[in-house]
């Protein structure tokens, strides 16, 4: 992925569950280095879109790439290049945010000082250092 390139691109992305269309014809381009988030009411398709982009769901139509990798054929590369912090931690609800990030980092083969620097960097970017 180029440092100044596009990190997320969708073209006509749609996802339906039976007769319910959760995402319809989403065209999106997010540049490297930008901060981006999905905002909208419940049922607007935010979570569904993130699940498609992370390779957890297959879109009904359209195309999507993350860090230049196709969401259908290069899921492992997307998982290696990105991170996903779910809204509810599920089994890990007893962990602090830092403990959760340490756990996920370890799952991705990161540890020690390199992992600590990455966590500190993420907390700083998000304005959460010291919390």
CA triple 94-97-101, angle to 5 deg? 105
The pLDDT tens digits of the residues spanning 8-19 come to 999 999 999 999
Per DSSP, the three-state class of 61 is strand
Indicate whether 1 pLDDT > 60. no
| Structure confidence by residue, pLDDT tens digits, 31-74 | 998 988 888 898 999 999 999 998 889 999 999 999 999 999 99
pLDDT for 55 equals 86
CA pair distance 46, 97, nearest whole angstrom: 22
Q: How far apart are CA 24 and CA 67, in angstroms?
A: 22
Map out the domains of the chain with their CATH numbers.
6-81 (3.40.50.300), 90-125 (no CATH)
Residue 21 has a CB neighbour count (10 Å cut-off) of 14
pLDDT band, very low/low/confident/very high, at 86 (cuts 50, 70, 90): low
Q: For the residues 16-26, what does the mean pLDDT come to?
A: 95
Contact yes or no for 24/54 (Cβ under 8 A): no
Nearest alpha-carbon partner for 131 in 105, 98, 102: 98
């Amino acid at each position: 992925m180029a440092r100044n390139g596009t990190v997320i691109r969708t073209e006509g992305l749609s996802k339906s569950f039976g007769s319910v269309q959760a995402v319809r014809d989403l065209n999106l381009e997010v540049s490297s280095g930008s901060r981006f988030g999905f905002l909208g009411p419940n049922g607007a398709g935010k979570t569904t879109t993130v699940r498609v982009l992370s390779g957890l769901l297959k879109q009904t139509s359209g195309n999507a790439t993350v860090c230049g990798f196709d969401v259908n054929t290069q899921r492992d590369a997307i998982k290696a290049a990105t991170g996903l912090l779910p809204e509810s931690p599920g089994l890990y609800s007893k962990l602090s945010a830092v403990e959760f990030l340490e756990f996920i980092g370890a799952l991705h083969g990161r540890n020690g000082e390199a992992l600590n620097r990455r966590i500190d960097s993420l907390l700083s970017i998000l304005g959460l250092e010291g919390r």
